[in-house]
Amino acid sequence: MLHSLLRRGLFLTPLIALTGCDMVVMNPSGDIALQQSHLITVSTLLMLLIIVPVIFLTILFAWRYRKSNTKAKYEPDWDHSTRLELVIWGAPLLIIIVLGLLTWISTHTLDPYRPLQRLDDKRPIPANVKPLEVQVVAMDWKWLFIYPEQGVASVNELVAPVDVPVRFKITASTVMNSFYIPALAGQIYAMAGMETQLNAVINKIGVYDGFSANYSGEGFSQMRFKFHGTTAADFDKWVQKTKSSTVALDRANYTALDKPSIGDKVRHYGSVEAGLYDAIVNRCVDRNAVCIKDQMAEDATRISRKVSTASVAAERSARRMTEASTAEVCITPETKKN
């Protein structure tokens, strides 16, 4: 009896442990994440339409055709059933078609670069609402958030008003990272010298976890921040409070901040140097460095000049050949004798 109870207890232990889990991915507070959770649910249910019957039939066949069951039919010459073939191949094919259709639709609908079309399933975005722009920089091992329109910045603290579209522009200062707020939307990679984007909206007031979802070295496990979904009034208060900071995020302070560190506390910058984010993306915070965009423009100009020069040379060569051919055609036997 005791042995049986222990076995049941061990079986239930994982379920008890799961009761303490925060299933934020399946119960998010942002419309984009909510649509993604619905997609996960529908896809899982569709796949279970095949998985559950297969598991059930596997157990059923093993039990029915066990050695001790002498009542089961023994048909060694049976090898084909058209109806069975239709079920075996038809059902998975239909599910794959439906999954493919869902994937195609959701890929376009939930494209992170696509501007939002709604606040939630019942409310479109009002015509007078302007998206809040936040520039995100993944660093070793902290997060920098720049608000270009408000002229402020913060480290390891992100604040946005509810029911206002947020357009994130994301990059990294060193190795590749991943910007992820499960309650808001899916993860988006952050890469040095590049910019990715995410359009999302938070629909409920609260404090949510954000972190890096891509291993990036020693301080990866502590590369976390808090995302505050607030009212519009509270967001304005936060902006004013941040502006009261006397520390400015200029190139010198950014260079100091960019040094690897672990467990950084929240800090605020009351002003941001113009063009700093663009310099971060183009890897030219150091004024002596050549910006990537300038280098690319110079390379494009150089290649264009080479192509143009080659085209002119080819045109001249073709013209000479044409003139030479014309001259040969015009030479008559009498001309040769003379």
Read off φ and ψ for residue 116, nearest 5 degrees. Answer: -65, 145
Tell me if 337 is assigned to some domain: no
Q: Are 146 and 134 in contact (CB under 8 A)?
A: yes
Rounded distance between C-alpha atoms, residue 63 and residue 91, angstroms: 25
Tell me if 11 is assigned to some domain: no
Average pLDDT over residues 284-294: 92
Last residue in a domain, options 281, 307, 330: 281
Q: Identify whether residues 250 and 302 lie together within a single domain.
A: no
Q: Identify whether residues 88 and 142 lie together within a single domain.
A: no
Structural domain count, the chain: 3
Q: Identify whether residues 124 and 263 lie together within a single domain.
A: yes
- 3-class SS letters over 38-104: HHHHHHHHHHHHHHHHHHHHHHHHHHHCCCCCCCCCCCCCCCCCHHHHHHHHHHHHHHHHHHHHHHH
Per-residue confidence (pLDDT) for residue 308, from 0 to 100 = 67
At 4, is the pLDDT very low, low, confident or very high (cuts 50, 70, 90)? low
Q: What is the pLDDT of residues 136-186, one digit of tens each?
A: 999 999 999 999 999 999 999 999 999 999 999 999 999 999 999 999 999
Q: Identify whether residues 86 and 219 lie together within a single domain.
A: no
CATH number, residue 130 = 2.60.40.420
Q: Identify whether residues 253 and 142 lie together within a single domain.
A: yes
At 71, is the pLDDT very low, low, confident or very high (cuts 50, 70, 90)? confident
> Could you list the residue range(s) of the whole structural domain that residue 306 is in?
290-321
Q: Identify whether residues 103 and 140 lie together within a single domain.
A: no
CATH number, residue 28 = 1.10.287
Q: What is the pTM of this model?
A: 0.81
pLDDT over 70 (residue 225): yes
Tell me if 153 is assigned to some domain: yes
Q: Identify whether residues 245 and 132 lie together within a single domain.
A: yes
Tell me if 265 is assigned to some domain: yes
Q: Identify whether residues 165 and 229 lie together within a single domain.
A: yes
Average pLDDT over residues 295-300: 86
Tell me if 220 is assigned to some domain: yes
Tell me if 240 is assigned to some domain: yes
Q: Identify whether residues 201 and 87 lie together within a single domain.
A: no
Tell me if 179 is assigned to some domain: yes
Q: Are 198 and 170 in contact (CB under 8 A)?
A: yes
